[in-house]
A and B are shown apart, each in its own frame.
Chain A
Amino acid sequence: MKLNELPRILPPWAETLRQRLFATPLDALATLVCLYIIWRISVPLIEWLLIDATWDGTTREDCRSSGACWVFIRARFGQFMYGQYPLAERWRVDLLGLLIVGAAVALSWRGLPRRKEASILALIVLPPLGVWLLYGGWGLKLVETREWGGLMLTLFLAIYAGLIAVPLGILLALGRRSRLPLIRFASVVFIEFWRGVPIITVIFLASLLLPLIMPTGFNVDRLARAVIGLAFVIAAYMAEAVRGGLQALPDGQAEASQALGLGYWRTMRLIVLPQALRISLPAMTNEFIALFKNTTLVLIVSIFDLLGIAQAALADPAWVGMNMEAYVFAGAIYWFSCFGLSQWSRLKEKRLQTAYGR
């Protein structure tokens, strides 16, 4: 009994560790087994990724060590980012990237004067400006979409498909709950059709069937077809996410607003949608992350997104066999992008909670 009365000499952090990880013999065993597994996995991984890796050089001959050959990524970095976009024109992609990041940062700063007008302006001006910067014309050199590729193309697909899908999804969700039978029917048909078709089929049909049935000379760019195909599918999913938010709202909200004399659109815009979108934001983010990863499916119609360009690089005899490096690099970019997105969405959720919370 005396033992128990001895004062603990462990510092507080160690005490916490003991309580959480070594409370009972079974806990201690589990902790040790887990630590051992982590050790066995992480040591070779870190050795391969960092310690034994080769960073400097220009060819595969420079990679003599057993670790990763990051020389490959360095030699191909431009292609991983821009595809075959002409070197002299890559500043246009960078500029657009800066504009988008700048706009996003500026607009998330709540002290920005006239923030609402600025966001609408950015949404109206930036997308067409972006297409002009990337594609060219009107003074800029034309860069065909077949030369686009890599991360830039992945982001383009996700952002532009998202820009179409979010408003379309909201409209479809409203349409599905509309009192007008025709609109409701059309929305249901659209949603159920696009939700029921695998994305890969949509992309395939958009890229192959359309040119076959279209009259010759009438040619929609294949990248545009892929963007629209992706957007329609995601819009259908978005619509269901938004509908979830709409259904979660008590009917009293819309009824009260109508009692105040607000019409349908003002009710939706001022009362219903702000609340419904807040509820459905996690689900919509989820759809958007799914969209971001689904952009890789465009590879089957030979559009080289980030993953496609990684695979194409593996076909170069000078670098053949660098599968691990290519996939680890591409995977890391996808992971960081998706993680960033979900962090952004959580931040947004928190802000909306404080804005509307009681």
Chain B
Amino acid sequence: MRVFASAVSAAFFVVASSAGAQQLAPSPTLDAIKARGHIECGVHLGLPGFSFANDKGEWTGLDVDYCKSLAAAVLGDATKVKFTPTSVQQRWAVLQSGQVDLLSRNTTITFSRNATLGVNFQGINFYEGQTFVVRTKAKVAAVKDLADATICVAAGSTEEKMAADWFRERNLKVTIINFQKNDDAISAYDQGRCDAYTAGIGALAGQRIKFKNPEEHQILSEIISNDPQGPVTRWGDERWQLIVRWVLNGTIAAEALGVTSKNVDEMKAKSANSEVRRLLGVEGKFGEMMGISNDWMFNAIKQVGNYGESYERTVGMGSPLKLPRGANQLWTKGGLLFTPPFQ
């Protein structure tokens, strides 16, 4: 009996693996998305530049843009995505219980989350990291220039520990002033009691424009901690994970290859670069290999833009936040953004 069972399963395995060469792996998530006609995307409740509702009530921001790109790639229409705002407390449960297809909400990628929460991180769309905001007239270019400065922090925060460690390791003397609450530390800095205030670079960008005179402050682009963030999916359904990962890669590749929402039609018609041609579905059948249209990245770039366009519009120079690219620049231009080739 047992011999028979193992023979059957062996036969099944052979059939299944040979079929896999031509057929797509099943993807319940993608099937569900196609059936319901939209993607369910979990975003942050409200984070300036990353995810917020504008005056018209439309969700906007860098993390929101990624989900729009995904909708354009999967369903051909960037508007076919619905956003579920998620709080810090509920984000994992919302993803695990299947209420959303993915999270795109400023969540730091860590080993323990990846290993224990049943979630996978599908790349990095923002290199968050701790840095400092200082007055422009103080002429501080790098973090080490802050030696002998006073820094305002919230007592007991990770930022306090991180900053203290960084300066101690380098034998630089700084005065750290502790405040009970983060808001107190911020207003103390704004009132001039300290030379610098420290937080994540994205948070600082939102904070800077709250200061009395935002143009008098600058955010250092050097970061002293490493908190990469990106889209998150559930374990299982590898084909859906593949799509989530490669749409993000595609938006970065598009910027590296010089494909923008403005020139994408021309690039598709005329480009001789075979990587551009594969990205836009002229050569190869990259979309079909994942079970979606070969126009996937064409639609995403045409409707939402490449990573750089999205960045500048939401958190960069085209937005009130005016956050420089810093680490979120292409690897060819001194940043950390990198994508494997479309081959």
Chain A residues packing against B (C-beta within 8 Å):
75-76, 78-79, 83-84, 144, 146, 204, 207-209, 211-212, 216, 299-302, 304, 308, 311-318, 320-321
Question: Is the Cβ of B53 less than 8 Å from the Cβ of A208?
Answer: no
Q: Does B319 contact A (CB under 8 A)?
A: yes
Q: Chain A nearest CB: distance from B106 CB in Å?
A: 11
- Nearest opposing residue in chain B for A303, CB measure: B85
Question: Is the Cβ of B320 less than 8 Å from the Cβ of A300?
Answer: no
Q: Is the interface of A mostly helix, strand, loop or mixed?
A: helix
- Nearest opposing residue in chain A for B315, CB measure: A317
Question: Is the Cβ of A302 less than 8 Å from the Cβ of B99?
Answer: no
Question: Is the Cβ of B320 less than 8 Å from the Cβ of A320?
Answer: yes
Q: Does B52 contact A (CB under 8 A)?
A: yes
Q: Chain B nearest CB: distance from A192 CB in Å?
A: 26
Q: Given known contacts A84-B53, A208-B93, A212-B93, is B209 in contact with A321 (CB within 8 Å)?
A: yes
Question: Is the Cβ of A318 less than 8 Å from the Cβ of B54?
Answer: yes
Looking at A209, A300, A315, the one whose CB has the most chain B CB atoms below 10 A away is A315
How many A-B pairs have beta carbons closer than 8 Å: the answer is 84
The 22 sampled A-B contact pairs (Cβ below 8 Å) are A84-B57, A146-B82, A212-B96, A212-B97, A300-B87, A304-B85, A308-B45, A311-B46, A312-B52, A312-B85, A315-B45, A315-B46, A315-B48, A315-B51, A315-B206, A317-B49, A317-B209, A317-B319, A318-B55, A320-B210, A320-B320, A321-B209
Q: How far is the CA of A144 from the CA of B97 in the complex (A)?
A: 19
Q: Given known contacts A302-B85, A302-B90, is B48 in contact with A316 (CB within 8 Å)?
A: yes
B98 contacts which chain A residues (CB < 8 A)?
A: 211, 216
Q: Chain B nearest CB: distance from A9 CB in Å?
A: 53
Chain B residues packing against A (C-beta within 8 Å):
45-49, 51-55, 57, 82, 84-87, 89-90, 93-94, 96-99, 206, 209-210, 319-321
Question: Is the Cβ of B90 less than 8 Å from the Cβ of A207?
Answer: yes
Question: Is the Cβ of A79 less than 8 Å from the Cβ of B206?
Answer: no
A308 contacts which chain B residues (CB < 8 A)?
A: 45
Q: Beyond the given A212-B93, A312-B46, A320-B320, please list 5 additional residue pairs across the A-B interface where CB-CB is below 8 A.
A: A209-B93, A300-B87, A301-B90, A315-B51, A321-B209
Q: How far is the CA of A37 from the CA of B54 in the complex (A)?
A: 41
Question: Is the Cβ of A315 less than 8 Å from the Cβ of B52?
Answer: yes
Looking at A75, A83, A302, A311, the one whose CB has the most chain B CB atoms below 10 A away is A302
Question: Is the Cβ of B52 less than 8 Å from the Cβ of A75?
Answer: no
Q: Is the interface of B mostly helix, strand, loop or mixed?
A: loop
A315 contacts which chain B residues (CB < 8 A)?
A: 45-48, 51-52, 206
Question: Is the Cβ of B321 less than 8 Å from the Cβ of A317?
Answer: yes
Which of these, B57, B82, B321, contacts A79 with CB under 8 Å?
A: B57
Looking at B53, B87, B206, the one whose CB has the most chain A CB atoms below 10 A away is B53
Q: Chain A nearest CB: distance from B215 CB in Å?
A: 13
B319 contacts which chain A residues (CB < 8 A)?
A: 317
A299 contacts which chain B residues (CB < 8 A)?
A: 45, 87
Q: Given known contacts A300-B89, A312-B45, is B97 in contact with A208 (CB within 8 Å)?
A: yes
Question: Is the Cβ of A302 less than 8 Å from the Cβ of B320?
Answer: no
Q: Given known contacts A216-B98, A317-B319, A320-B48, is B54 in contact with A302 (CB within 8 Å)?
A: no
Q: Chain A nearest CB: distance from B83 CB in Å?
A: 8
Q: How far is the CA of A215 from the CA of B54 in the complex (A)?
A: 36
Looking at B46, B84, B86, the one whose CB has the most chain A CB atoms below 10 A away is B46
- Nearest opposing residue in chain B for A59, CB measure: B55
Q: How far is the CA of A320 from the CA of B46 in the complex (A)?
A: 11
B84 contacts which chain A residues (CB < 8 A)?
A: 146, 302
- Nearest opposing residue in chain B for A322, CB measure: B210
Q: How far is the CA of A345 from the CA of B52 in the complex (A)?
A: 39
Q: Chain B nearest CB: distance from A223 CB in Å?
A: 13
